[in-house]
A and B are shown apart, each in its own frame.
Chain A
Amino acid sequence: AQKITQTQPGMFVQEKEAVTLDCTYDTSDQSYGLFWYKQPSSGEMIFLIYQGSYDEQNATEGRYSLNFQKARKSANLVISASQLGDSAMYFCAMRERTSGTYKYIFGTGTRLKVLA
């Protein structure tokens, strides 16, 4: 079963508009972490934002915010004031502890295209 689900293979947004990228997760752990990464066409993975399962406040980092709804097991990424440089693949990931080690599971990604 999918542990991280990103239901939007591709999204378009107009420059300067806000966009929400969806992510739902599945875990029975009480302690876990949720991450969003950006992967431009050059391939590197850029860390954007983190949300801990015990964090009561939604995480924010500049133009990025994470809409964390624990009961619904969702961790959507909101990008405000989109810029052309935001065009990239975006991956949601979950860190969980398995057999004494941390493991990171990635979703299938959402390709975001910002339109001028």
Chain B
Amino acid sequence: GAVVSQHPSRVICKSGTSVKIECRSLDFQATTMFWYRQFPKQSLMLMATSNEGSKATYEQGVEKDKFLINHASLTLSTLTVTSAHPEDSSFYICSARGLEAGYQPQHFGDGTRLSIL
């Protein structure tokens, strides 16, 4: 089945550091990738929709300059948390959807647990 690889799986870093998270579709081309944030014991909150070759669409309340998204190819999207602070600590998870029309589930990466000290 379709596989989405997300890297790194865990990051612990100091406040003020910028952190880049990669999301790759391994065996299919993804025109659209989604970035979610999940707080403990809560649901997934969509942060932004990333379309290959165009600017990401951010959800209301998500800071574009804080969470930089780049979708440079049909198999790779990156999320950079700039100048991260403790309140940015969370579980970040990406998903990808293939090119084919019609029914398709999202395929999720395994998530990145970000801890800012």
**Chain A hits for B97, CB < 8 A:** 102
Residue A29 is within 8 A (CB to CB) of chain B in the complex: no
Which positions 68-117 of chain B face chain A at CB distance < 8 Å? 91, 93, 95, 97, 103, 105-111, 113
Residue B34 is within 8 A (CB to CB) of chain A in the complex: yes
State whether A43 touches B57 (Cβ < 8 A). no
Size of the A side of the interface (Cβ < 8 Å), in residues, is: 21
Size of the B side of the interface (Cβ < 8 Å), in residues, is: 22
State whether B105 touches A52 (Cβ < 8 A). no
Compute how far the CA of A105 lies from the CA of B34 in the bound complex, rounded to whole angstroms: 11
Compute how far the CA of A33 lies from the CA of B104 in the bound complex, rounded to whole angstroms: 9
Compute how far the CA of A92 lies from the CA of B87 in the bound complex, rounded to whole angstroms: 27
Q: Which residue of B lies closest to A101 (CB)?
A: B49
- From B57, B93, B95, A101 is in contact (CB under 8 Å) with B57
Compute how far the CA of A41 lies from the CA of B43 in the bound complex, rounded to whole angstroms: 13
**Chain B hits for A108, CB < 8 A:** 42-43
Which positions 34-83 of chain A face chain B at CB distance < 8 Å? 35, 37, 42-47, 50, 52
Q: Which residues of B are in contact with A by a Cβ distance under 8 Å?
A: 32, 34, 42-44, 46, 49, 51, 57, 91, 93, 95, 97, 103, 105-111, 113
Q: Which residues of A are in contact with B by a Cβ distance under 8 Å?
A: 33, 35, 37, 42-47, 50, 52, 91, 101-109
